[in-house]
């Protein structure tokens, strides 16, 4: 999914989120929102990644929980389907740093102008929503919670201007 950051990032406005169901559903939506924002930020860099890198593992969100595809060469593919909701949560959280680099890299030549500050702060606000609500999502084990907490703490350190 290629999104153009100039068109804005897909997200659920807070005034809609309060009507979006119970706390778990809202928490899961915040996770999906940060994943969409990461994808929008990261799409800028996808073109620069080689088209023939093997082995390549990629993962897709699907309505039944996700699909893993391993490409060992141009002709060999292994697929594992339906990995569950926890996949979406851990993938979105672990990919949050991928959304930070494109925000900063566009202003690397003139960082003192601070044009990157507002986009980074907006992205950081989304990260905070995920941090504050993710433990309301069912299916997360104590280990999942500890691991994702650690990832979010480190990411928020990097995302703090």
Q: Which of 23, 1, 46 is nearest to 138 (CA)?
A: 23
Q: Domain spans of the chain?
A: 13-48+84-158
- Is the pLDDT at 85 greater than 60, yes or no? yes
Residues 94-120 have pLDDT tens digits of: 889 989 988 888 887 888 889 999 999
- Is the pLDDT at 2 greater than 50, yes or no? no
Q: What is the distance of C-alpha 46 from the center of its chain?
A: 15
Structure tokens at 19: 């009507």
């Amino acid at each position: 999914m290629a999104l153009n950051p100039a068109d804005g990032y897909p997200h659920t406005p807070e005034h809609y989120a309060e009507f979006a169901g119970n706390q778990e559903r809202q928490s899961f939506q915040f996770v999906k929102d940060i994943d969409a924002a990461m994808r929008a930020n990261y799409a800028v860099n996808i073109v620069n990644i080689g088209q023939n890198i093997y082995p390549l593992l990629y993962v897709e969100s699907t309505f039944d929980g996700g699909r893993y595809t391993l490409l060992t060469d141009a002709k060999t593919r292994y697929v594992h389907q339906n990995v569950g909701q926890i996949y979406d949560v851990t993938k979105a959280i672990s990919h949050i740093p991928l959304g930070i680099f494109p925000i900063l890299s566009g202003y690397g030549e003139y960082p003192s102008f601070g044009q990157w500050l507002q986009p980074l702060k907006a992205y950081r606000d989304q990260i905070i929503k995920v941090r504050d609500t993710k433990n309301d999502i069912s299916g997360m084990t104590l280990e999942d919670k500890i691991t994702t907490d650690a990832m979010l703490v480190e990411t928020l350190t990097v995302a703090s201007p």
